[in-house]
Structure 1
């Protein structure tokens, strides 16, 4: 049995806008047998707002090559930032299990598959959505069954509706801190949607400290000349290097990605710790980029 959630093109564009809803059509069979649950029309203004938010961030002009140079020389541009306004703009990213932010996390986790067919964007729940053993937890001998879009660490007890709700609630719970952290290093969380979604995904995947350090690492990567997915994957990997003072530190820090490192050991992969973590972080960054790319494609049809 396939589990398809059909997202209409127009409604999909409104998922990241404020005060908007989606047209959701659910199916437990073929796409031809889809039944409508609710239909809500969106305005052209909503669509234009969404299109402006998925624009790629500007290419950095400064060229800094080391962490020390970054810390000593970077100047965060002055920009008015209102947390309440930013929360109002971005909370809808994680409002439901089919909101853009949750779709991005679900695809990165391997629990969603997003695809375009005949001009329509489809969201499919993979078998992992309904229960799979977390490979990272096995690294310290713990068997945990994940459910829902975010791989909920078993918190829902297998209740899918509860897992969906808890995934959204947890993502929303971390949003304020993520918005502030990105802004603090000069990354506009309201304009750089890809950076925000990767911060949220890292918060979902790992301990809080790593999503807290990711914005700093991303600013360093971009100031050093890295761009796009390369900068994001590098920064996600670098965020796992933490020193004894709980600081982001590539020179003296220890790689704290114990779950991922354990997977590489179990699979006997002949790679370094950096390569082990980078391999996974690149995959997740590419998954999130593919989600945004499909949203862009559907907006141009």
Structure 2
């Protein structure tokens, strides 16, 4: 709702759960899982990056009920449905921005060889259009340290989520839900790159400057650099090996202005970086 008084526009926040069409009675069948980040969790220290670079592993992680090193289940889902969110800004120790990553029917459980207990699940297609696009604001109670909020047995909790979980934005595509990091910090995984080339905001930002791009196969360390077209010519490409203390290999008479970095062989994917050109 928007109202104008004395020339000042006052916009009431959009309640996200109402946007989904869920009322208090509906929420009695749901849990909400807020998956946070931690610098000590390795690849789980940046969940938005993991969403693109290790999607299948991330989904298993956010549907884990009990980890092998824990004496009891610390992430038990008590309901048949769950709304999943991941922390949007991993550097924030007190997160308030969350990326919606889907609504799911919770099925049965299974145990992996290492003792980890996970849930099987099916995505609820009704809400898929907002998956990885809806960014919400929610400030959790500092007195509760769990990640799963059971809404089936707590009327006050249902009302709190209905009232205070508000929509910040619906991004055009999943990758644009992430803030544009600045030209010097563009480093995309293959999943992010596919999404970015189909996103107007990212295409406009990257298309407004001349830059040198490095695309790396992290399995082998080999990459290709290419730059902007000049004088009507096609962009020049250079094949190079990316590793510690190495420079791109170029053909005689050619130079490359791209930087190099050690390949991350822990992820079987490719990545793309950009550097602004001085020309």
TM-score bracket for the superposition, by shorter chain length: under 0.3
Which structure is richer in relative contact order (CA contacts within 8 A, separation 6 or more)?
1
Q: TM-score, normalised by structure 2?
A: 0.22
More strand by share: 2
When you count helix as a share of all residues, which structure comes out higher? 1
TM-score, structure 1 normalization: 0.21
